[in-house]
Structure 1
Amino acid sequence: MTLLAELDRNSSVPLYRQLRAALEREILAGRLGTEGRLPSSRELATALGVSRNTVVTAYQELIAEGYVTPMPRSGLAVNAELHAEPPPPPTGRRFDWDARIAPAPDADLPISHRPRDWQRYRYPFLSGQPSADLFPRRAWQRSLRAAMEGSNFWPSLSDSGDADDPMLVEALCRHILPARGIDAEPSQVLVTLGSQQGQALIAGELLGPGKRLAVEDPGYPDLWHIAVRAGASLVPMDVDGGGLVPTDALASCDAVAVTPSHQYPTNVTLTVGRRNQLLDASPDLVIVEDDYDAEFRYSGSPTPALKALDRRGQVVYLGSFSKFLAPGLRLGFLVADARLVAALRERRRFQVRHAPGQQQRALALLITSGDYARALRRARTILRDRWRRTVAAVDTHLGWRPAFGDTFPAGGTALWVVGPPELNSRALAAAARARSVLVEPSESYHLREPRALNAVKIGFASVPTDRIDAGIAELATAWSSGTAQAAGVGVVG
């Protein structure tokens, strides 16, 4: 038997691992063990000039991995199954997965596609993406380390069944929700993997075939997909400068989904009068409030959450840490009647059980230490400046307007900018991308046909402040090239 292996005694890889790998190659190539047993550990050690323990350890790993089989009173032999005749190729057709996968009921709904490599673009004017200079990296790293120490260790690593981290729930009730005017007990709070999981849990529990969900149009396309996949029908509602426009159509709906603080995507705020209209529309209407970008208001006092006005307990409040911290953390929460929270908790258990323990505990420590509030104040200051610069750049280089009124709403992390009727924002986005500028065309955010094409969503959170003006100037150059001036099918405004 010839073993074609060279052992490098100067390598950082232990000799027994080098030997195990070499033996594996020889076995799989059919050059070792084909005539019966393998050489004994003593024989092989002598032949290779290594210690017997090195060979024994290598053999033990090969036995554990199924390459070698111990033979009673005969030593070791190569596993016969390794060199068995391969089974004949299957006859007939391949398994038909297409026949098993149900057709998507939401295939005709719009969807927003963003490049996964958005970081490599110089001017990524996308909403919902993190900003490296805003993320509290050191504070988060401290919290992650602390989450693995002392009394925090087991809450971070244990399987908690359907329970959330009590420290995080307490932090939400004491520090986060009061700022939105919400007084909640721990039994009314559920931690989610971002607000979108909250929407999916609600849809699965409360919506289904025959149910009707009123939605903002323009609005949040992912919510539309979630609801339709749950079996619900969508009832589009107009949006104007005062937010969602309540109509008599609400009387026939089981639920309404609304973004009161900063309407997605126009950024307008739902007026107090309309908030009361929603609450008074029907005692049987479930109101799903996504408190989108509520942390970022750049003038005046923040408007309390719709949930703060809820007297019947019909509002389900969704919050997220994705927009401020980072979407990749996938942490959010919902607040609702304790009976609904209990049902959603049970539903979540049989899907993902709970959010990662270390993430929950680290976030709780970040909040209770005061680091979260400090980082939020800093982010708000920086984003206020970016909002001002973006507004000024749009006015200077494009001269386009907001969807409603004469001034852009002072808040959020993006502008909804309406261009001239001949603007084809899909073509503009393609032309801008070639100039390393990313913007989002308007058609993805419209439910009804024809879907408007003469608006763009310009996010400013993930673009460095000193690049904003140059980036909008590049966008204007893409527009002036003429490639995006074919009339769109639908028009905003």
Structure 2
Amino acid sequence: MATSRNPRPANPADLPEPREGVRAPIAVSSGSGEPLYRQLRQALEHQILVGTLVPEQPLPSSREMARELGLSRNTVNAAYQELLASGMIESRSRRGYFINTQMLRNRELGRAAATAEGSAVDWSRHIRPREDAGMPEITKVRNWSSHPYPFVAGQVDERDFPRLAWSRALRDAMDAPHLFYSLRDSVDEDDPYLLEVLCKRVLPARGIQARPENILITAGSQQGLDLLAQTMMGRDTVVGVENPGYVDARHTFARTGATLRPLEVDEHGLVPPADFGDLDLLYLTPSHHSPTNVTLSGSRRQQILASTRDAGALIIEDDYDSEFRYRGKPTPALKALPNSGHVIYLGSFTKFLAPGLRMGYLVAEAELITELRNQRRYKIRHIPGHPQRAMALLIESGQYHRTISRRRTQLQRKWQVLTEALEEFVPFKVVAPPGGVSVWITGPADLDCVELAAEALKAGIVIERGDVFYDDPGANRNHFRLGFAAIKLEAIRPGIRELGRVIAGLAGRQGEAPSHPVDPLNPARSGSVPNGAPAEQL
């Protein structure tokens, strides 16, 4: 495998120390009314305190500093003498001036003491409490890539990213005639080329016919959800959400003060309620439900479309992982069906290319798009033009669809290996979904996913606990999720074998007094038992 000649450090701690002579710029001006030596002393003191200057390296000599700033050596020496007198620097024989590290430590101790005494800003007086403060959140293992078996969801194997094609698109976007659109301030507009290729090359594959005025480019689906929430939701709004369902969408909606109505999900997707009349909006992931990956059945699609339309409710369709289906035929988007004008469609480029790109799109009636465009303008103005134009070029070149096809083949192989390994090594039945990039697993009632995730991590296995996806996490702790997009193919089978051993080990401890690990999502529930069973039944 080819390696870069200049690999980037894995993390900031690996960055080399600044070399001697590499310093932040210093500005002094004879027209400021402040003596030059004092301006220089203040600038150097600031750089010392913020850490720009390295304590282990000597300060520049007066000759070097004078030449660099166009000052006299007397001016530089006067500044150094003031720093020396204040204790900021110290002189070391035959080596020059150095930062006084003891002084820095004393300053830090003084700052900490002042904070402890309450002299710091009381930020609780200035930061408004969040409406969603009590809701569970998805937590990720930050160093997941360093573990041998990272079954993480929402990540990709960076080796699969079309680096050469993307680099070429980025480079071409900086040449005429694309340069103007890459660099301009478009105020609230999107790249017209990207809108055009979406209408012609991307949306038709999902059965959606749209014009440029029906599309808004977003910083991923998450921004699309936020724009919709801020535009259409408030304390008088009721939003139907899947249960289990996408946690971040719930947080986004709840922050507006909206009331969330959990709706159950089974093997055929969302179970339609008897009455949609009390809903203002319904949030759905029909292609591959998040997190279980089940597909909303055709009959339920028709029922939900008709019932919400009759009730005057809107549907937010998050087309989650629709590109990846390994069994059966792909189902059309809700937005592609007749009488779907009340459906707002969310798509993303980042789910299969790379989550770090943060680019998606929203399709809806022109009147709503106009309002969302105005909302976005006063939040971030617009998505950067350079990656927009590069994405358009990537799609138009055909590399976008080739990447989808190649990635689908790679993921299908991983899906096959994973499902076979689960059948062999996991001691209970797992129903694999027909598509998506993760497998949702429901264990026996006495399986605690909080404890399982902790024990698995000790064995180098990263899994995602499933309780957080429910409206009532404490009563649903026997679920977990395995993502397979980021893990290497050859690591899947041994990883599941190890996971099976961890599960067997937990099952073997059932006869012992249960420890009931603390639930960081809700310490009040610590010690609670799934499904409300008394502790002695475990």
Normalised to the residue count of structure 2, the TM-score between the two structures is 0.76
Alpha carbons of structure 1 residues 186 and 432: separation in structure 2 relative to 1, 3 Å: same
For residue 37 of structure 1, what is the aligned residue in structure 2?
Answer: none
Q: Secondary structure at the match of 1:133?
A: helix
User: Residue 436 of structure 1: which of 454, 460, 463 is its match?
Assistant: 460
User: Residue 176 of structure 1: which of 198, 202, 211 is its match?
Assistant: 202
Q: Secondary structure at the match of 1:264?
A: coil
Task: Say whether the 8 Å CA contact 1:454–1:491 is kept in structure 2.
Answer: no
Task: Say whether the 8 Å CA contact 2:147–2:461 is kept in structure 1.
Answer: yes
2: distance between equivalents of 1:94 and 1:123? 44
When the two chains are superposed, the root-mean-square deviation of aligned CA atoms in Å is: 3.6
| Aligned positions of 1:395-414 closer than 5 A | 395-402=423-430, 407-414=431-438
Task: Say whether the 8 Å CA contact 1:243–1:268 is kept in structure 2.
Answer: yes
Query: Which amino acid in 1 is paired with 2:475?
Result: R
Alpha carbons of structure 1 residues 398 and 390: separation in structure 2 relative to 1, 3 Å: same
| Aligned positions of 1:461-472 closer than 5 A | 461-472=485-496
Alpha carbons of structure 1 residues 59 and 378: separation in structure 2 relative to 1, 3 Å: same
Is residue 2:397 matched to residue 1:372? no
User: Residue 305 of structure 1: which of 333, 341, 345 is its match?
Assistant: 333
Superposition deviation, residue 478 in structure 1: 1.5
For residue 52 of structure 2, what is the aligned residue in structure 1?
Answer: none
2: distance between equivalents of 1:334 and 1:454? 35
Q: Secondary structure at the match of 1:408?
A: coil
103-112 vs 411-420, which moves further: 103-112
2: distance between equivalents of 1:368 and 1:329? 18
Superposition deviation, residue 282 in structure 1: 3.4
Is residue 2:239 matched to residue 1:213? yes
For residue 114 of structure 1, what is the aligned residue in structure 2?
Answer: 140
Task: Say whether the 8 Å CA contact 2:156–2:354 is kept in structure 1.
Answer: yes
For residue 192 of structure 2, what is the aligned residue in structure 1?
Answer: 166
Alpha carbons of structure 1 residues 481 and 152: separation in structure 2 relative to 1, 3 Å: same
For residue 320 of structure 2, what is the aligned residue in structure 1?
Answer: 292
User: Residue 419 of structure 2: which of 391, 405, 421 is its match?
Assistant: 391
For residue 99 of structure 2, what is the aligned residue in structure 1?
Answer: none
Q: Deviations over 1:95-134 (max 9, x none)?
A: 3211121222212211110022211111110110121232
For residue 223 of structure 1, what is the aligned residue in structure 2?
Answer: 249
Is residue 2:287 matched to residue 1:261? yes
Is residue 2:42 matched to residue 1:58? no
1: distance between equivalents of 2:487 and 2:249? 26
152-161 vs 92-101, which moves further: 92-101
Q: Deviations over 1:315-340 (max 9, x none)?
A: 00000112101111000001000000
Q: Secondary structure at the match of 2:250?
A: helix
1: distance between equivalents of 2:167 and 2:20? 32
Task: Say whether the 8 Å CA contact 1:400–1:417 is kept in structure 2.
Answer: no
Is residue 2:369 matched to residue 1:341? yes
Task: Say whether the 8 Å CA contact 2:131–2:256 is kept in structure 1.
Answer: no
1: distance between equivalents of 2:328 and 2:381? 41
Structure 2 residues without counterparts, runs of 5 or longer = 1-18, 29-36, 46-60, 87-110, 517-527, 533-538
Task: Say whether the 8 Å CA contact 1:217–1:448 is kept in structure 2.
Answer: no
Superposition deviation, residue 435 in structure 1: 1.0
Task: Say whether the 8 Å CA contact 1:236–1:448 is kept in structure 2.
Answer: no
Is residue 2:306 matched to residue 1:280? yes
2: distance between equivalents of 1:177 and 1:216? 25
For residue 455 of structure 1, what is the aligned residue in structure 2?
Answer: 479
Alpha carbons of structure 1 residues 310 and 94: separation in structure 2 relative to 1, 3 Å: farther
1: distance between equivalents of 2:354 and 2:184? 24
Percent of aligned positions that are identical: 41
2: distance between equivalents of 1:429 and 1:56? 60
Task: Say whether the 8 Å CA contact 2:138–2:468 is kept in structure 1.
Answer: yes
Q: Deviations over 1:184-232 (max 9, x none)?
A: 0000000000001100100111111110000000000111100010110
Query: Which amino acid in 1 is paired with 2:246?
Result: Y
Query: Which amino acid in 1 is paired with 2:434?
Result: A
Q: How many residues align?
A: 445
245-254 vs 446-455, which moves further: 446-455
Alpha carbons of structure 1 residues 29 and 101: separation in structure 2 relative to 1, 3 Å: closer
Task: Say whether the 8 Å CA contact 2:427–2:500 is kept in structure 1.
Answer: no
2: distance between equivalents of 1:429 and 1:365? 42
1: distance between equivalents of 2:503 and 2:315? 40
Structure 1 residues without counterparts, runs of 5 or longer = 1-10, 32-46, 70-75
1: distance between equivalents of 2:286 and 2:43? 67
For residue 470 of structure 2, what is the aligned residue in structure 1?
Answer: 446
Superposition deviation, residue 26 in structure 1: 8.5
Task: Tell me which structure has the larger Cα radius of gyration.
Answer: 1
100-109 vs 300-309, which moves further: 100-109
Superposition deviation, residue 139 in structure 1: 1.0
Q: Secondary structure at the match of 2:70?
A: helix
Query: Which amino acid in 2 is paired with 1:316?
Result: I
For residue 16 of structure 2, what is the aligned residue in structure 1?
Answer: none
